[in-house]
Structures are given as structure tokens and as C-alpha cells.
Structure 1
Amino acid sequence: MRKIDTIKDNGFFLPTLKYKELMILEYMDNNPDTTQKELGKAIGAATSMINAYIDEYEMNGYVRREYITSKKVKYHVTPKGQKRKNYLNVTYIQELMDLHKLAKAGVEEFLKRVSQKGFHSILLYGAGEVAEIILNVVNNTEDIDMKVQAIVDDDLEKRGTELLGYPVISKVDIKKYEHDGVMVSSYTFENIIRSHLLQMGYEDEKIIQFFGEWE
């Protein structure tokens, strides 16, 4: 049985009827021997609601039920159902792209404000997903006058490696790089990282907090 993402995995999206329909059709298509209980778990709905959804999809010609026994059913997504699933997929991807553009615009605006303050050469502190996002925006936005020199991280396993081609270094190596400031690219450890930098004698006005208050 192929595992696919469930509604519970998507913390930022409300489970609309269209999204539930897409999830059910996708799940059925990959797992025709599934049960209504499994479908309910996948989309976070009661079994009674799943039955109602399937009745509707069957009435619309999207799904056909094959009764193996009186209790065992195999679900088949029909050609019409495939067409419907493809439409829902395209619509879903388009909405994700719109959300991505909105989120990217917010990061771009922040980085532009930072560069306008004179931070044109920076180090990132925190070699994780946030750093990847910042690097992608910096590298793919022409009007951001900023260059990342390296990424600082306290994880021994990350040091000496690279993130998107940028070296991951120790905080003791910060002074080896000519830079205007350090941008803290960690949400969980933001305050701890700031404290470490201050304890090292790093200038407070050169610490840029991506998630905290900064002007």
C-alpha cells in the first residue's frame, strides 16, 4: 500500500471539500483495497462522512465500487474520476504557487530592508531550512544587494560540509570572514544564538534577527 501525505501533515491548510476530494481520489487510486476507516484516518473525517463522500463521487461517475465480498470492497477511480483528480491537482498546485509567491515576497522585502541598512555581505547562523530559504531568495532575486559568505552552525556534524554550495563553519571562524553582520537563521535557537554572539563580544547592532524584532 503506497503511503501519501495526509491532511494532518499539512498544518497550514484548511481541509476544504475540494482538498478532501483530491485526497480521497488520490488515496483510492493508489490504494484500491483501502477501507473507509483508513480513508477517514487519512483525511481526518468520520467513517460516516467518508461513506457520504464516496456515494457522491460514485453518483458523479468518479468512482466505481467492486464488491469482492459483502464486506470487502475495491475502489476504482474511473476515467472521469482521473480527469477530475487531474483538475483538482492543477488547481491545488496553482494555489500553492500563489502562496509561495506571497511568502517569498515577504522574505524579499525583509532582505531588501537589511541590505538598505548597509548589510551587503553577511553570514548566516543556523544551517537549516530557514538558511536554505534565505539563500534561494538571495541567489534568485536580482535587486537584493546582498552576498552570503558562509553559514555558522554549532552542530559538529554539519561543520565542514556545505549547504547549497556555501561552507558551514564554526562560530570561532566568524572573524575570518569580512562581513557586515550575522543574520540568525534559526527560529528555535534564535535567542541562544544571539546570546552566544554577544558573549563572544560580537557587536549587538550587527546581529540581524530574522524572526525577532529588527530595524
Structure 2
Amino acid sequence: MDLSEFSFFNPSPNFREMSILKALTESSSVSQERLARIAGIVPSMVNKYIRDFEDSQLIQKEGENRRNMKYVLTEAGKFRLQYLTILYLKEAAKLYTESRDIFGEVLDTLKGSDHESFYLYGAGIIGGILADVLRTEGMKIIGFIDDSAAKQNGTFHDLHVFSPEKIHGKEDTAVIVASFRHANNIVKNAKDRGLDNVMVFTISKLGKV
């Protein structure tokens, strides 16, 4: 997991410990710089974790010198990694459930509609969030629509970005307007171009989705 992608979630000591132990199982000779990036810490802190692991007999050194030195998890280390992974999955599942509740009304509305597939109008932050959530729920996202020529014919969140002129409305396909500030203009543009089944995703000033 690349922690640089997240601004609301800081790695805990347990997460760092799990990340380093897991990295050592994948490559016992992994560099400290690599371990630091994985755990979201500075390289000097990796030394402290390694020493603590050795003192707790979670890892052991193998190799005659620093050039061929590697760290291998002991049985106690493997058990510790397994335990930390279970705790991580438990909390991740709880976080997913809470995020599902946030989008619950939106998802229920879309699933209750007659639409089989969707375009997301707006290849930006909101559109990216919706793309991830809807695909996780098994919904078919054809791609993005965007008015920006710089974005058209490119990809965003692994989905093609179409020009509005390239889209032809179908009864079983809806267009979801995914923009924080320009929703009204986008809806007008979509309808002016003959696009039907236009839906708007909004976030209220109270933070309600």
C-alpha cells in the first residue's frame, strides 16, 4: 500500500510493524530504504524496528557479512504477522462498511433504477471516487465524459475519457454528473447535447452525500 496516496489516514505502529514484517517475508534482503517507503517512515526508524524485532525474536539474521546479510522471520514472527494481518483486516472491513453506509442512498438509488450501465460526467476528484465505489459494487462504468479537450481520449482511473459529442444516449444507460462545483453547467451541457437519463451526485454543506 502506497501511504502517500492518503491524507486522512496516518500509519500506526501496528501498521508499520505489519508492513515491515510482510516485506521481509516477500524479500528477506529488501533494502532499508524500501522498507521505509513501505512503512511510511524515515530509514533511521527502520533500524529501531529491526532491533526490536530481533530483541523480541521475531526475526533472525542470516549471512556472514553485511553484503549477504538478510533477515528471516522466525515462527514467532510469522505468528505475529498473522495476528497483525487479522487486526488490519478487521479494521479495514469496518472502514469499508462505514464508507458503504455513506454512499448507501446513492447506491440504492442506482441499483433500483432501470439502468444497466453508466457514464461519469466529470473526470475529476468526485468522478474518481464514484468510479472506485461503483465498480467495487459491481456496477458497469463505461467511462468518463469531460468537456476538457486535454482530458478527452485519455484515461482516468483506468477508464476512457470521452468527448460529450461522442456519446449517444441509450435507455439503459445513465449519465451521472460527478462534479463538486460545476454540476449545474454540466447538466445543462449534457441536456443541450441530447443526453438523457442525467443524474447528479452531490455533497451537501452538511457533508451528506
Q: Pick from 192, 201, 205 the counterpart of residue 210 of structure 1.
A: 201
| SS of residue in 2 equivalent to 1:34 | coil
Tell me how far apart the structure 1 counterparts of residues 75 and 86 of structure 2 sit (CA, whole Å).
17
What letter corresponds to residue 92 of structure 1 in structure 2?
Y
Q: Pick from 186, 192, 199 the counterpart of residue 189 of structure 2.
A: 199
Q: Normalised by the size of structure 2, how large is the TM-score?
A: 0.65
Greater displacement, 128-137 / 36-45? 128-137
What letter corresponds to residue 176 of structure 2 in structure 1?
M
**What is the percentage of aligned positions where both structures have the same residue?**
22
Structure 2: unaligned runs, 5 residues or longer: 147-151
Number of equivalent positions: 186
Match of 1:134 in 2: 134
Tell me how far apart the structure 1 counterparts of residues 38 and 143 of structure 2 sit (CA, whole Å).
38
What letter corresponds to residue 94 of structure 1 in structure 2?
K
Match of 1:177 in 2: 170
Structure number with larger C-alpha Rg: 1
Match of 2:57 in 1: 61
With over 3 angstroms needed to count, the CA separation of the structure-2 counterparts of 1:7 and 1:212, relative to structure 1, is closer
Q: Pick from 147, 153, 171 the counterpart of residue 145 of structure 2.
A: 153
With over 3 angstroms needed to count, the CA separation of the structure-2 counterparts of 1:27 and 1:89, relative to structure 1, is same
Structure 1: unaligned runs, 5 residues or longer: 140-147
With over 3 angstroms needed to count, the CA separation of the structure-2 counterparts of 1:6 and 1:78, relative to structure 1, is farther
With over 3 angstroms needed to count, the CA separation of the structure-2 counterparts of 1:179 and 1:29, relative to structure 1, is closer
Match of 1:73 in 2: 69
Tell me how far apart the structure 1 counterparts of residues 162 and 97 of structure 2 sit (CA, whole Å).
31
Question: Residues 177-201 of structure 1: CA distance to partner in whole angstroms, max 9, x if unpaired?
Answer: 348974224x5xx656752431354
CA RMSD of aligned residues (A): 4.0
